[in-house]
Copies of this chain bind each other. A is one copy, B any other.
């Protein structure tokens, strides 16, 4: 993997946001020199980062063949944490996912942990911890953010130093492979223990059927990026368009960072990461709310070379997703500026969404012991499987 070095960054308090960098070569196999202006990973370095990065794959009733492609694409050295929210009845989709993981493990020897978001054992595991809020009716709430939090705990529990997320509804296994390597490249580039790598998709509008979906996600992302950039511009009084990855589902971070962050539930999870880092470690810096000092956090934004092509799902509504996404800004200190709130309400109105966007449900991981969490889960659960 060879990426271009970001040529500049902007610093907001203890938050450094790097300009977009790009993948120059998917595979630097056999590369001896390191051309200037590039960051090139040799295989030893890549292997080292791969082995310490757990890849969390959230899955919910995805076609097995698509999930299989993603799992087979993640470099062997990275342990996989499959976090399922799939149905168990009338058809037991979850048991097929477990079977797939078992098969992959037995043929290739790779390490895979499979957990279920609605596993009743979570009630016991999380009761009395700061994450008790995640429970509702004896199980972890449904929601993308909630599943990702479980993934972070599991990744930390198996001893990973980094955690990366890769969606399971990706038709291009090569993209999942590339995302993993981008994570390794980003981690090896950053000098802070608090590092986040966020991926920008590289896609073209040629494939008519998928184009529609890509465009929709693009719109939520475009608006959220522009609102966050507008808020930053208003505060600084210098216009910026540095944020390109507000809704980036494909992202990764050091475990040290993941455990110190607050996490939002549902679809607010990705933009809330950026919003709360800015809130705590830029606007709240003087008030002592930043837990990432003295090093501060590096947010790297890297454009992948593969297109991101995924299934069109009927259950996603752009207005609702946009509201959840912009709600993270609206209800934050970035949204204390009246102009910013007006802009958010105006944008939502264009999508026929009336009123204030929802406030994100927020969870703190402070005080959680991931080792104990995972070992209790594995001891209590009938659904979790650790193939290693």
Q: Contacts A171-B307, A172-B306, A206-B171: A27 and B177 contacting too (C-beta < 8 A)?
A: yes
Q: Are A108 and B24 in contact (CB under 8 A)?
A: yes
Contact indicator B174/A35 (Cβ below 8 Å): no
Answer yes or no: A69 CB below 8 A from chain B CBs.
Answer: yes
Q: Counting CB contacts under 8 A, is A305 at the interface?
A: yes
Q: Once the chains bind, are A73 and B26 in contact (CB under 8 Å)?
A: yes
Contacting residues of chain A (100-157) with chain B, CB-CB under 8 angstroms: 107-110
Q: A97 to chain B: which residues have CB within 8 Å?
A: none
Selected contact of A174 from candidates B25, B26, B208, CB within 8 Å: B26
Shortest Cβ distance from residue A119 to the other chain B in the assembled complex, whole angstroms: 28
Which of B2, B78, B110, B307 is within 8 Å of A108, CB to CB? B2
- The complex is assembled from copies of this chain, and their number is 2
- In the complex, the answer to whether B305 meets A173 with C-beta atoms within 8 Å is yes
| Contact status B73-A27, CB under 8 Å | yes
A387 sits at the interface (CB 8 A):
no
A238 at the interface (CB under 8 A from B): no
Q: Which A42-86 residues have C-beta < 8 A from chain B?
A: 43, 46-47, 50-51, 65-66, 69, 72-78
**Contacts A24-B108, A29-B76 known; 10 new A-B pairs at CB < 8 A:** A25-B73, A25-B110, A26-B73, A29-B50, A30-B75, A30-B76, A65-B204, A174-B174, A207-B210, A207-B309
Binding site for B on A (CB under 8 A): 2, 23-31, 33, 35, 37-38, 43, 46-47, 50-51, 65-66, 69, 72-78, 107-110, 171-175, 177-178, 180, 204, 206-210, 305-307, 309, 311
